Structure 1
Amino acid sequence: MAVPSPLLAFLRPLGLPCSATVRHFLRFSQNTRSSVEGAVPRESISVSATVPVPSLASTSTSNSPPTKVPKAPSPSEAFESQSQSGLKPTVTTPTQIMLPYHISRTPSAQLPFYLLRKRGGNLHQTRVKGIAGDINVLRTDIQRFLNLPEKEVTINRTTNHIICKGHWRSQLTEWAKQRGF
């Protein structure tokens, strides 16, 4: 039969912790100096008596009254003055309004036209990304602009990209800028 362990065995005295454990916990304590070491006489901290005390009186000799500082307009007044006179509406071209598609720019403010080289560099393609709206109309507009046959400008329906056969990035960039993108 097994001998039962004493009930209060967990209260047995333990050895001292190793020095690394003590250092680990003591490194977070703040070091304080004893008052004897850090005591500094008050005379050395205070300003010497030879330094003149600044006076509150003004040194200006002019007796003229101070000039008025112009009052800053309230935020509502400033907004009304800007909205009525200084700001002009932006001029939009009719092509920007009537196009059924939009090509958004990249986060670095560039147009999303990319050159691809596939099959060891023999297949050159241009990819148009960031298209919103009617992608079919954009495809036909690009096809007409580049004078390419219908099967050389394709739409990837999964990614919503238009892929053109050949390197047309510079021409497409100029075309998109003319249309206001």
Structure 2
Amino acid sequence: MIWRALRPTTAPTASIIRTPIRFVLPIRTRMFSTSTAETSPAADTPAAPTLSSSSASSFTQTAPSVTSPEQVPKVQLPYFVSKNNLDNFGVYHRRKAGGNLKVTLLKRAEGNLQALKHDLKEALQLRDADVSVNSVTKHIMVRGHRRDEILHFLKTMGF
């Protein structure tokens, strides 16, 4: 047993070097080129807007030409489903009524939700009673756990 008078008054300091951990999220950037010829021959990515060399005072974008059947111009839809900051759709499974009722919830939809409900009902071959729209929260509820089918529908629609 060490007497109080012989004990050290302060605890020894640990030599631990603590460095802060930084998380870097990917950021999408748009590239503007000053030449009129394309520099990257990527077929699946759309052509980047270019700076017009004829008018130096104003920026004009050139429309990408349709060269393959994959690059068909998209139809303007009356609704839009946005993604979160992790680039995922807001599609979630829910259980209600004590776990007996299984529901899939689609969030972050904007625009004409009735048109989205109609397209979703036709794509998944559902009855009218299986799909409902909550106009206050702007959520679409689909009866059953159909998350993968809804995600496939949203990706094929081009969102």
TM-score by length of 1: 0.51
Pair 1:85-2:38 in alignment: yes
SS in 2 for 1:85: coil
Q: 2:95 matched to 1:149?
A: no
Of 90, 96, 109, which residue of structure 2 is paired with 1:131? 109
What letter matches 1:118 in structure 2? K
Cα deviation, 1:44-75, whole Å, max 9, x if unaligned, reads xxxxxxxxxxxxxxxxxxxxxxxxxxxxxxxx
Q: Does 1:177 align with 2:155?
A: yes
Shift of 1:167: 0.6
Which letter maps to 1:85?
E
Which one has the bigger helix percentage?
1
Q: Secondary structure at the match of 2:133?
A: strand
Consecutive unaligned residues of structure 1, counting only runs of 5 or more, are 1-77
Query: In 2, distance between residues paired with 1:151 and 1:165?
Result: 9
| Match among 83, 90, 94 for residue 105 of structure 1 | 83
1:139 aligned partner, one-letter code: K
Cα 1:170–1:113 change in 2 (3 A) is same
How do 1:4-153 and structure 2 match up within 5 A? 79-81=33-35, 84-86=37-39, 88-89=47-48, 93-94=72-73, 96-153=74-131
Please state how far the C-alpha of 1:84 moved relative to its aligned partner.
4.1
Q: Distance in 2 between matches of 1:101 and 1:85?
A: 33
Secondary structure at the counterpart of residue 98 of structure 1 = coil
The separation in 2 between residues aligned to 1:112 and 1:170, in whole angstroms, is 12
Compute the displacement of 1:85 (Å).
3.1
SS in 1 for 2:121: helix
Give the letter aligned to residue 148 of structure 1. Answer: L
Larger radius of gyration: 1
Query: 5+ unaligned residues in a row in structure 2: which ranges?
Result: 1-31, 41-46, 49-63
**Counterparts in 2 of 1:179 and 1:104: CA distance versus 1, 3 Å:** same
Query: 1:159 Cα shift?
Result: 0.5
**Structure 1 residue 98, shift from structure 2 partner:** 2.2
Deviations 1:111-145 (A, max 9, x none): 11111011221110011111111111100011111
Aligned length: 102
